[in-house]
Structure 1
């Protein structure tokens, strides 16, 4: 009994962590592999996650779900639920002055843009329904005030070209999601908003 109490106090199993965080067991395992959640293995090969790390991540999840006005408006369009949650958690962890919205595919992304035009769109390309290629073409034709668009995709450059490509001015990053590069880009956008260049 004492051993069970110590375990509950000090660490979670992956199944317990999934229940606390409201996600699937697979998602927790992916977060461990991505370095979002620190973990170790018992001699029997079972993963253990520090209780304080899981609880801190839960607080970050809750914080990320609360939008704030007057921030850099960022829209992420990504069909994979695990990837969307990675975006949410990483962006919350940075503590930057932004308002993050998430969309599941190109059609959902256009609906989000119709509600409020974002300053930055980060999108996948290969998605069911309306893919990123279609969404980008629509944005550039129909939304003149659209902000910066960035692509993060598992498709190779050859595959992207074969499917019509994307406009030249759009940066294209390869998956896994390059969070360091995205953070630098977002910080640059925030700096330019805080200190806009004056016309000469």
Structure 2
């Protein structure tokens, strides 16, 4: 194999994720790839290194200055307890929405609960899919109408890799149910909610996740 070409496993090692995450990113078009005549996926080493550079640069930006508006914020409370008064690992919550004002509202509201929660915010589907692979969220809160990779494409990519079985999905959208149904068939486990954001239901979901940890 040429030195400037690598396999899924090698790409996973270089990026510090699982081969399954590499497949997710390839299917979503985040990481360019092609298949050999034998059906094996291959990646340009340059593309892998570029993605690694983008991810690393995004980690070091201050809030509101990240790559494509991407930002992270941890709101976990080390000494907080779950609803059952037992210390647990934080619930990992990934919020993907292109409205930065709403992202800030999510951040402040979840932090105000005093629950052990670790929150990652992303303002488009591209960054959202990167964080799904890196963050492995317990709960994904997803908007549908976004630039670049929209919420529909995110769901399709997650379904293709069977990753929705590993997380709770809450789709919060201003679209009507029939408009969504024309675009995609949501999984039965998905909670579909119309805007405005139902923070009480989100809190209930987070508490349920904490009780299961």
Q: What is the TM-score with the length of structure 1 in the denominator?
A: 0.61
Stretch deviating more after TM superposition (137-146 or 83-92): 137-146
Superposed, 1:44-193 pairs within 5 Å as 65-66=73-74, 68=76, 70-142=89-161, 144=163, 146-193=166-213
For structure 1, which runs of at least 5 residues remain unmatched after alignment? 1-21, 24-63, 194-200
Query: Aligned with 1:125: secondary structure?
Result: coil
Deviation at 1:67, TM superposition (A): 5.2
Deviation at 1:114, TM superposition (A): 1.8
Cα distance in 2 between the residues matched to 1:96 and 1:71:
8
The answer to whether the 8 A contact 2:97-2:142 is kept is yes
The answer to whether the 8 A contact 2:75-2:116 is kept is no
Tell me which residue corresponds to 1:33: none
Tell me which residue corresponds to 1:42: none
For structure 2, which runs of at least 5 residues remain unmatched after alignment? 1-62, 65-71, 79-88
Cα distance in 1 between the residues matched to 2:166 and 2:129:
11
The answer to whether the 8 A contact 1:133-1:165 is kept is no
How many residue pairs align between the two structures? 132
Structure having the larger proportion of residues in helix: 1
Residues 135-170 of structure 1: CA deviation (Å, up to 9, x unaligned): 011112225363111111111101111222322220
Higher Rg of the two aligned structures = 1
RMSD across aligned C-alpha pairs, in angstroms?
2.1
Cα distance in 2 between the residues matched to 1:66 and 1:189:
17
CA gap of 1:148–1:66, structure 2 versus 1, over 3 A, is: closer
